[in-house]
């Protein structure tokens, strides 16, 4: 569903561009920015705030997923692609064949939180337990396998909530938790981070994963340990910054070649403390240490 | 004969302009009507050529008949081994459509019998319009009803963990298919000549006996056609089943299992696949499969409906 929201600023910026076009003779530059649903809210905030920094540049933001953004960069239809996973070798090669040269920029970090229903007594979970729940051939089918009993969950059967198979979040979770193994079949594949959290919130038996920024009050976020019995780290912006949280991922923006001109200015502003404070405000960890007061 | 030709030529010569204009208009309208008439065929062939071309690479390359139809493993983006098995998706579509028909057939036949045989005057007109209105509700609205209303009701009533399942989608799809089935079934009942009914009544048959023994058997082809069209609708429906099934690759063992439909898989995945990749082509191959299935169902429906008119 984030893609729906993402058209609003696009429409707004397009409208302001039109209005300004009528008013003055000044030439407006438009930056096309597309990709990850995880990043779409931040990208919008950046676009809106950049209006005050440089009114002559309009940033048009849309979502659709990491794959969509990178595909658009390969096809040369966007200036900046947002991605919650790194570009694949296959995509890099395709881009080079098309005469594009994707350059990677790390613009922040995101802790991938595990979501449980508020009534679930489980407080900590290890990567291997997660792999057992999500992975193909995994043996954990009920909450009692994990040593807990979830009130309100009939038969204690784990309802496994995942994402559609071309989401960047899905790909990162597979690499980080399952070690490139396949997901088991029969997971409920939701079409957006928000849908995952919504379903888990309403379902006592459920477990799900999504970016920390999508957390709401009525779900529980267990701490995650690399090994069973090891140090358990709660997902937060701080633990994502100091790299102690085991499933935190970098968030990327890709440009075609080193950005120059107005695109370069925009990328530099995003990486500046002003831009990084905006990503922090949206619930993600900044790429550099910043002091936002 | 030569005299006639001369006359025609003379006639044409005397009023040359008006005749040619009419002639041209006539030909133009003829051409337009002809284009309109065959446009459906052109579009159908065009669509089939398009989806076949997109899916063809997969059919020649990665396609493995046994895996495609008999494996439940749909893992098009796997890092280790990509597999393209649609068995679970077919099972999902079939289970939802099957349940939908179980619900829609009694409802739509009941409604059709009432409208065609019992209701009269204003009641009849009002019901017909209402049924048509019901058919006009967008499928995304039905999906929303499944997601927001049916889901909590199913969880409460049946004490199951998730309400997005075969039951939810089946009920929604049944309600969606019922109006169109009602309309066609009602047409079939109306097509039964009144003398049949009059003759039965003259023999002392009750109202129910007239319907059960005379009208329904006489209209059976049309009714079967209505049911088949409903099945076709169920197979092709996308948005509502995407929202109400739970979108989970699963061969269902009960109506409370979440499933995933063929159409919903295309809708959810096509937007983010790289054009020309095996995954993209496999989705188009599912499209070909769906096209062939709905084509067969519609053709069968058409043939049985036609059968009633001849007989």
**Strand A285-286 versus strand A102-117 pairing type:** antiparallel
Q: What's the pLDDT at B189?
A: 93
Is residue B275 within 8 Å of A77, Cβ to Cβ?
Answer: no
Min distance B246 CA to chain A CA atoms (Å): 6
Taking residues B109-136, what's their average pLDDT? 92
Q: What is the nearest CA distance from B130 to chain A, expressed in angstroms?
A: 32
**Cβ–Cβ < 8 Å for B111, B131:** yes
Of the candidates A29, A30, A33, which has an alpha carbon nearest to the alpha carbon of residue A7?
A33
Q: Which CATH superfamily is domain B87-306 in?
A: MetI-like (1.10.3720.10)
* Window B:69-88, CB contacts with A under 8 Å: 72-80, 88
For residue B74, give every residue at least 6 positions away whose Cβ sits within 8 Å of its Cβ, in sequence order, or none.
A185, B83, B84, B85, B86, B88, B89, B249, B265
- ipTM confidence: 0.74
Residue of chain B nearest A178, judged by CA positions:
B79
Token duo for residue A147: 């040593």
- Sorted by where each starts, the structural domains of chain A and their CATH numbers stand as 7-110+249-286 (3.40.190.10), 112-247 (3.40.190.10)
- From chain A, the residues in CB contact with B260 under 8 A are 189
Q: How far apart are CA A137 and CA A35, in angstroms?
A: 32
Give the distance from residue B84's alpha carbon to the nearest chain A alpha carbon, in angstroms: 13
Could you say which of A67, A159, A167 has the minimum Cβ distance to residue B162? A159
Decide: pTM greater than 0.95: no
Q: Are B75 and A182 inside 8 Å of each other by CB?
A: yes
Residue contact B77–A68, C-beta within 8 A: no
Predicted local distance difference test score (pLDDT) of residue B62: 76
The mean pLDDT value of chain B amounts to 87
Question: Terminal CA-to-CA distance of chain B, rounded, Å?
Answer: 47
Q: Torsion-angle region of residue A147: left (phi > 0), alpha (psi -120 to 50) or beta? A: left
Residue A264: count other Cβ atoms within 10 Å of its Cβ. Answer: 12
pLDDT of residue A288: 81
Å from B291 to nearest chain A CA? 24
Of B74, B248, B268, the CB nearest to A188: B248
Distance from CA of B60 to the nearest CA of A (A): 22
Mean pLDDT of B115-139: 91
**CA dist., res. B267 & res. B269, Å (int):** 6
What are the extents of the domains in chain B?
Answer: 2-60, 87-306
Q: What is the pLDDT of residues A237-288, one digit of tens each?
A: 889 888 889 999 999 999 999 998 999 999 999 999 999 999 988 888 888 8
Q: What is the 3-state secondary structure (H, E, C) of chain A?
A: CHHHHHHHHHHHHHHHHHHHHHHCCCCCEEEEEEECCCCHHHHHHHHHHHHHHCCCEEEEEECCCHHHHHHHHHCCCCCEEEECCCCCHHHHHHHHHCCCCEEEEEEEEEEEEEEEECCCCCCEEEHHHHHHHHECCCCCCEHHHHCCCCCCCHHHECEEEEECCCCHHHHHHHHHHHCCCCECCCCEEECCHHHHHHHHHHCCCEEEEEEHHHCCCCEECCEEECCCCCCEECCCHHHHHCCCCCCEEEEEEEEECCCCHHHHHHHHHHHCHHHHHHHHHCCCEECCCCCCC
- Chain B residues with CB inside 8 Å of A205's CB? 161-162
- Bridge pairing between strands A206-211 and A188-190: unpaired
Which residues make Cβ contacts (< 8 Å) with residue A180, sequence separation at least 6?
Answer: A174, B79, B80
Q: Are strands A80-83 and A248-256 parallel, antiparallel or unpaired?
A: antiparallel
Each residue's pLDDT tens digit, B246-292: 889 989 999 999 999 999 999 888 877 777 778 888 999 999 999 99
Q: Do A188 and B162 touch (CB under 8 A)?
A: yes
Tell me how far apart the alpha carbons of residues B281 and B56 are, in angstroms, rounded to a whole number. 7
- For residue B51 the two structure tokens come to 């989806």
Nearest-angstrom CA–CA distance, B311 and A194:
57
Band the pLDDT of B201: cuts 50, 70, 90.
very high
**Separation in Å, CA B34 to CA A60, A92, B23, B39, B48:** 46, 50, 16, 8, 21
Cα B268 to Cα A199, B95, B167, B298: the distances in Å are 18, 20, 21, 26
- pLDDT (mean) for B133-144: 91
How much is the pLDDT for A25? 45
Per-residue pLDDT tens over the stretch A153-187: 888 989 999 998 878 889 899 989 998 789 998 89
Q: Do A186 and B260 touch (CB under 8 A)?
A: no
Burial class (CB in 10 A: 0-12, 13-18, 19+), A136: middle
Q: pLDDT tens digits for B42-73?
A: 998 999 899 888 888 888 887 888 889 999 99
Q: What is the pLDDT along chain A (293 residues), one digit of tens a residue?
A: 344 444 444 444 454 544 444 444 457 889 999 988 888 889 999 999 999 999 999 999 988 778 888 888 988 889 999 998 889 888 888 888 888 899 999 999 999 999 999 999 999 999 999 999 999 988 888 999 998 999 888 889 899 999 988 788 898 999 899 987 899 988 999 888 888 998 899 889 999 999 888 889 999 999 999 887 788 999 998 898 888 899 999 999 999 999 989 999 999 999 999 999 999 888 888 888 787 76
The count of C-alpha atoms lying within 13 angstroms of the C-alpha of A8, restricted to the half-sphere facing its C-beta, is: 12
Q: Most confidently modeled of A36-45, B103-112, B235-244?
A: B103-112
Q: Which residue of A has its CA nearest to B249?
A: A186
Alpha-carbon span B158 to B148, nearest angstrom: 17
A244-247: Cβ within 8 A, 24+ apart = A245/A111, A246/A127, A246/A176, A247/A111, A247/A112, A247/A127, A247/A172, A247/A173, A247/A176, A247/A177
| Start-to-end Cα distance in chain A | 33
CB of B160 within 8 Å of any CB in chain A?
yes
């Amino acid at each position: 569903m984030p893609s729906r929201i993402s058209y609003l600023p696009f429409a707004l910026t397009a409208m302001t561009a039109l209005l300004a076009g009528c008013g003055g003779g000044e030439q407006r530059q438009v930056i096309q920015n597309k990709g990850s649903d995880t990043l779409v809210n931040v990208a919008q905030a950046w676009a809106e705030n950049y209006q005050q920094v440089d009114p002559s540049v309009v940033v048009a933001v849309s979502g659709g997923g990491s794959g969509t953004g990178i595909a658009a960069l390969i096809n040369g239809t966007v200036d900046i692609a947002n991605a919650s996973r790194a570009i694949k070798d296959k995509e890099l090669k395709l881009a080079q064949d098309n005469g594009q040269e994707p350059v990677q920029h790390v613009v922040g970090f995101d802790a991938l939180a595990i979501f449980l229903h508020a009534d679930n007594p489980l407080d900590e979970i290890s990567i291997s337990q997660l792999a057992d729940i999500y992975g193909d051939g995994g043996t954990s089918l009920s909450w009692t396998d994990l040593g807990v009993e979830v009130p309100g969950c009939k038969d204690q059967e784990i309802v496994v909530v995942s994402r559609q198979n071309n989401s960047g979040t899905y790909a990162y979770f597979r690499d980080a938790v399952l070690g490139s193994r396949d997901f088991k079949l029969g997971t409920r594949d939701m079409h957006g981070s928000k849908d995952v959290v919504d379903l888990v919130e309403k379902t006592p038996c459920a477990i799900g994963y999504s970016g920390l920024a999508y957390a709401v009050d009525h779900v529980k976020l267990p701490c995650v340990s690399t090994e069973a019995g090891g140090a358990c780290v709660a997902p937060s912006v701080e633990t994502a910054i100091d790299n102690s949280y085991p499933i935190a991922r970098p968030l990327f923006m890709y440009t075609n070649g080193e950005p120059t001109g107005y695109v370069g200015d925009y990328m530099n502003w995003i990486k500046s403390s002003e831009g990084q404070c905006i990503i922090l405000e949206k619930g993600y960890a900044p790429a550099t240490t910043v002091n936002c007061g | 004969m030569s005299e006639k030709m001369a006359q025609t030529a003379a006639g044409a010569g005397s009023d040359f302009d008006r005749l040619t204009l009419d002639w041209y208009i006539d030909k133009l309208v003829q051409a337009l009507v002809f284009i309109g008439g065959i446009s459906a065929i052109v579009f159908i062939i065009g669509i089939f050529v398009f989806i076949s071309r997109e899916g063809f690479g997969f059919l020649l390359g990665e396609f493995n008949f046994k895996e495609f139809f008999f494996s439940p493993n749909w893992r098009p983006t796997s890092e280790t081994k990509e597999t393209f098995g649609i068995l679970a998706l077919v099972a999902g579509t079939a289970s939802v459509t099957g349940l939908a028909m179980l619900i829609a057939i009694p409802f739509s036949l009941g409604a059709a019998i009432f409208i065609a045989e019992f209701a009269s005057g204003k009641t009849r007109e009002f019901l017909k319009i209402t049924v048509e209105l019901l058919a006009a509700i967008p499928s995304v609205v039905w999906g929303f009803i499944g997601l927001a209303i049916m889901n909590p009701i199913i969880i409460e009533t049946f004490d199951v963990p998730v309400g997005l399942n075969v039951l939810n989608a089946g009920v929604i799809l049944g309600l969606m298919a019922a109006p169109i089935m009602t309309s066609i079934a009602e047409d079939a009942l109306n097509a039964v000549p009144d003398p049949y009914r009059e003759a039965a009544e003259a023999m002392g048959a009750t109202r129910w006996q007239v319907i059960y023994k005379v009208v329904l058997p006489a209209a059976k082809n049309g009714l079967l056609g209505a049911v088949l069209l409903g099945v076709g609708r169920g197979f092709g429906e996308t948005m509502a089943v995407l929202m109400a099934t739970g979108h989970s690759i699963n061969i269902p063992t009960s109506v409370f299992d979440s499933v995933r439909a063929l159409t919903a898989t295309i809708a959810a995945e096509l937007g983010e696949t790289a054009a020309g990749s095996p995954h993209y082509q496999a989705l188009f191959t599912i499209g070909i499969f769906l096209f062939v299935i709905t084509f067969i169902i519609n053709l069968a429906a058409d043939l049985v409906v036609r059968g009633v008119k001849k007989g």
